């Protein structure tokens, strides 16, 4: 019996999660998977109502689940930073979800903005460090609000944090059985402390994986190569900030936020799966948001739980919907409503 914590969140989050849960229901029936869900009301609405973002008691409860399923966090009436830090980053940090795993895979039937590249060229995965770097919150102000103001934001990179992230990337690459290549994405020519550590750790750990090739690319160059030669990549490993940036680029390469999913993973604890797009409040409540990203996140959740067939069949069904049914992946332009897309995934799932 899997216990799954569901956080529908803000904006279009709940509509996306609703479709994901429909698919979970269908796949569980097909593969005789037992699960129960507990829904947590976290997000901008609750914050505005009660002043509470994420109580510590909730964090403790969440530790007792097998996985978490998150819609989106973000509210137009809440000042930027409060919900991001107070909910999303707090969850990642407190639950030590030290990997942010983001596949960049172009499905058949999906249009990429890159001319002359197809599904055979675009299939890689980014392993983003998820608890350190610039996100750690180190730094501060001096003389704030004056003309002498100083703002410092420091990137924290611990040997332990870097090592465990790199090891995860190499292990993942081994399991993925694709190009057997891990590319470190950094900026060793300028960030000569942080990425010096990353680079040394990278080549040291690589010795433990003699059959995996290593590559290195600066973050700016990788933005270029992701567009020019996406077929070069298999597993890209990088720090928190660079990972955040290149995975938005990756999402566009694979067809947009309508399809891009990710997992915040603690291999020894509870992991959280989410569509990587935001709460998109302007589309909320209209039944027009694309739920495929959330459904892909569900597939990643099942894979992480070890339900490989269920995960695979969800992905295959999503591909069928892309090939046969959707006019576009964008909200409002799919040619189907949010709930119809969920129904279509279930139909293919049952036919497989
Ligand atoms: C993401 C988001 C978050 C991040 C924000 C909302 C804090 O952009 O999941 O990529 O920067 O990690
Ligand atoms: Mn981001």
pLDDT number for residue 336 = 97
Atom of ligand 1 nearest to the CA of 244: 10
Can you give the pLDDT at residue 80? 92
Q: Which among 275, 259, 267, 277 has a CA at the least distance from the CA of 304? A: 267
49-101: pLDDT as tens digits: 999 999 999 999 999 999 999 999 999 999 999 999 999 999 999 999 999 99
Which of 44, 88, 97, 103 is the pocket-test mutation for ligand 1 (most atoms within 8 Å of CB)? 88
Rounded to 5 degrees, φ, ψ at 229 are -135, 65
Q: 276 CA distance to ligand 2 centroid (A)?
A: 7
d(CA 335, CA 328): 7
Residue 235 and residue 136: Cα distance in Å, rounded? 24
Q: Quick one: CATH architecture of 2-351?
A: 3-Layer(aba) Sandwich (3.40)
Q: What is the pLDDT of residue 255?
A: 96
Q: What percent of the chain has pLDDT over 70?
A: 100
The tokens describing 8, both together, are: 């529908």
Q: How far is CA 164 from CA 20, 101, 202, 326, in A?
A: 30, 14, 11, 39
**Residues 109-160: pLDDT tens digits?**
999 999 999 999 999 999 999 999 999 999 999 999 999 999 999 999 999 9
Q: Which ligand does the CA of 134 lie closest to?
A: 1
Pocket test for ligand 1, best of 42, 70, 244 (most atoms within 8 A of CB): 244
79 is written with which tokens?
């000042």
Q: Identify the H or E element spanning 345.
A: helix 338-351
In this structure, how many other beta carbons lie within 10 angstroms of the beta carbon of residue 186? 24
Q: Which of 66, 97, 71 is nearest to 305 (CA)?
A: 66
Q: Are 292 and 257 in contact (CB under 8 A)?
A: no
Tell me how long the chain is. 352
Q: Identify the band that residue 338 occupies on the pLDDT scale cut at 50, 70 and 90.
A: very high
DSSP calls for 235-285? EEEE-HHHHHHHHHHHHHHTT-TTT-EEEEE-TTS-EEEEESS---GGGTT
Q: Residue 207 Cα, ligand 2 centroid: separation in angstroms?
A: 32
Q: Are 156 and 138 in contact (CB under 8 A)?
A: yes
283-327: pLDDT as tens digits: 999 999 999 999 999 999 999 999 999 999 999 999 999 999 999
- Test site for ligand 1: of 89, 153, 241, 294, most ligand atoms within 8 A of the Cβ: 89
The alpha carbon of 235 and the centre of ligand 2 are apart by a number of angstroms equal to 18
Ligand 1, atom 12: closest residue by C-alpha: 244
Nearest Cα residue to atom 11 of ligand 1: 244
* Domain range list for the chain: 2-351
For 253-279, the pLDDT digits (tens) are: 999 999 999 999 999 999 999 999 999
Name the residue among 216, 139, 156, 131 with its Cα closest to residue 182: 216
pLDDT of residue 177: 86
Alpha carbons 92 and 194: distance in angstroms, whole number:
21
Residues with CB under 6 A from ligand 1: 84, 88-89, 244, 276
């Amino acid at each position: 019996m899997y216990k799954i914590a569901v956080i529908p969140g803000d904006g279009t989050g709940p509509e996306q999660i609703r479709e994901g849960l429909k698919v979970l229901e269908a796949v569980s029936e097909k593969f005789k998977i037992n699960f129960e869900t507990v829904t947590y009301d976290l997000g901008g609405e609750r914050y505005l109502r009660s002043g509470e973002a994420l109580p510590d008691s909730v964090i403790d409860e969440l530790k007792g689940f097998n996985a978490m399923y998150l819609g989106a966090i973000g509210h137009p009436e809440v000042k930027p930073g409060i919900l991001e830090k107070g909910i999303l980053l707090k969850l990642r940090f407190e639950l030590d979800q030290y990997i942010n795993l983001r596949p960049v895979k172009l499905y058949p039937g999906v249009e990429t903005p890159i001319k002359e590249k197809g599904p055979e060229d675009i299939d890689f995965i980014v392993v983003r460090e998820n608890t350190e770097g610039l996100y750690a919150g180190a730094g501060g102000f001096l003389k704030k609000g004056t003309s002498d103001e100083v703002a410092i934001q420091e990137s924290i990179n611990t040997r332990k944090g870097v090592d465990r992230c790199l090891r995860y990337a190499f292990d993942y690459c081994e399991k993925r059985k694709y190009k057997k290549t891990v590319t470190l994405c950094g900026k060793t020519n300028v960030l000569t402390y942080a990425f010096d550590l990353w680079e040394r750790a990278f080549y040291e750990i690589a010795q433990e994986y003699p059959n995996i090739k290593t590559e290195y690319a600066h973050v700016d160059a990788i933005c270029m190569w992701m567009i020019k030669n996406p077929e070069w990549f298999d597993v890209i490993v990088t720090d928190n900030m660079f990972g955040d940036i290149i995975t938005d680029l990756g999402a566009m390469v694979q067809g947009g936020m309508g399809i891009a999913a990710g997992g915040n993973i603690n291999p020894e604890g509870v992991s959280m799966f989410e569509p990587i797009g935001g709460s998109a409040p302007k589309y909320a409540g209209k039944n027009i948001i694309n739920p495929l990203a959330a459904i892909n996140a569900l597939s990643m959740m099942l894979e992480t739980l070890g339900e490989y067939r269920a995960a695979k069949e969800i992905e295959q069904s999503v591909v069928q919907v892309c090939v046969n049914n959707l006019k576009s992946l964008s909200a409002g332009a799919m040619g189907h409503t949010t709930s119809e897309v969920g129904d279509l995934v279930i139909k293919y799932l049952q036919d497989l």
